[in-house]
Amino acid sequence: MTASDLAYVPFVDVEEMMHLILDIGLETCLADLTNYIEEDFRRWPLFDKTPRVAAHSSNGVIELMPTSDGQEYAFKYVNGHPGNMKKGLQTVTAFGLLADVESGYPLLLSEMTLLTALRTAATSALATRLLARPGSRTVAMIGNGAQSEFQALALKKVCGITALRLFDTDPEATRKCMANLAGSGLDITSYKTAEEAVMDADIITTCTADKQMATVLHDNMIGAGVHINAIGGDCPGKTELQADILNRANVFVEYPPQTRIEGEIQQMASDFPVTELWEVLSGTAEGRRDARQITLFDGVGFAIEDFSALRWLRDQVERLGGGKRLDLIADPDDPRDLFGMIERERHRRNPA
């Protein structure tokens, strides 16, 4: 590949992402992404790891999420502003980049608002596949906003879920979710309370967005054997679960230094025991032990998942074509003569 080729960076915008998802099939995308994330979690020790670099405000947070496996580098820019919904704006928006470590040149630039929804659902599906009781078929979805449909379809495709029980404090959100999933093949029921929705569920997924210490699930709502995905928009000062649930459960996380800042376990002592998800995949730690154990995935989203998502997207763009070509990198004939590029353009504009 020439320097000129590298100067033009494939760019996947929102329209292109939607076309790609529809061409491949949403559920196939979710299943493929789950496998890419699992592949990268299995080689977890190879990656650079750091908690995301965050700029917090009273309205929300803006974060950078970088990582590298030594061959490729990725970062994501993402925000979380719960109040945006009242303005008709997205709570979470994102874009990201994949780059070649050897040259430092970018390989792919992409929207990641849609891609983050896919990778978050795929990560939940991976955790559920690892930790839920075999034969689990019913999921209660507490919080029916922008993430809910992706979460439900990932659990259906990857984990074999057949029944979906919905609750949201906003009935319109539940109606939206039910309408969007009407042709999914899931048996969907809505409930007026979270207590009713979680009753007899095998899996409970919480995905609320309020930036506060809320109690979406109380301890008396959680029966033996349940698997919980706590994946609502996370930040310091934002939780969804009563602390007593954490004390009864075995808690699994992505990267403890980040989860202790932003996840459900921020409520707990700094030495509260957790198991990293990659350790279960590598066989160095135990997952579910028996049918009565309560397992809890305290998912906050980590940079390696975004790396996996961008790697998957790059492969799809290469396989299927597509993606716009951005003239993103200055490419002078002589790498030492950047100024000369401007001079040659000046002469081209004014040949006299």
Strands 163-167 and 187-190: what pairing? Answer: parallel
Distance CA 58, CA 263 (A): 18
Active-site residue 219, yes or no? Answer: no
Backbone dihedral angles phi then psi of residue 276, each to the nearest 5 degrees? -80, 140
Using alpha carbons, select from 182, 189, 130, 175 the residue that is nearest to residue 155. Answer: 130
Strands 187-190 and 239-241: unpaired
Q: Is 1 helix (H, G, I), strand (E, B) or coil?
A: coil
172/178 Cα distance (integer angstroms): 10
Catalytic residue among 32, 40, 168, 234: 234
What's the CA gap between 196 and 203, in Å, rounded?
Answer: 14
Letter string b/e over residues 161-197, b meaning 16 or more CB atoms within 10 A of that residue's CB: bebbbbbbeeeebbebbbeebeebebebebbeebeeb
Catalytic residues: 234
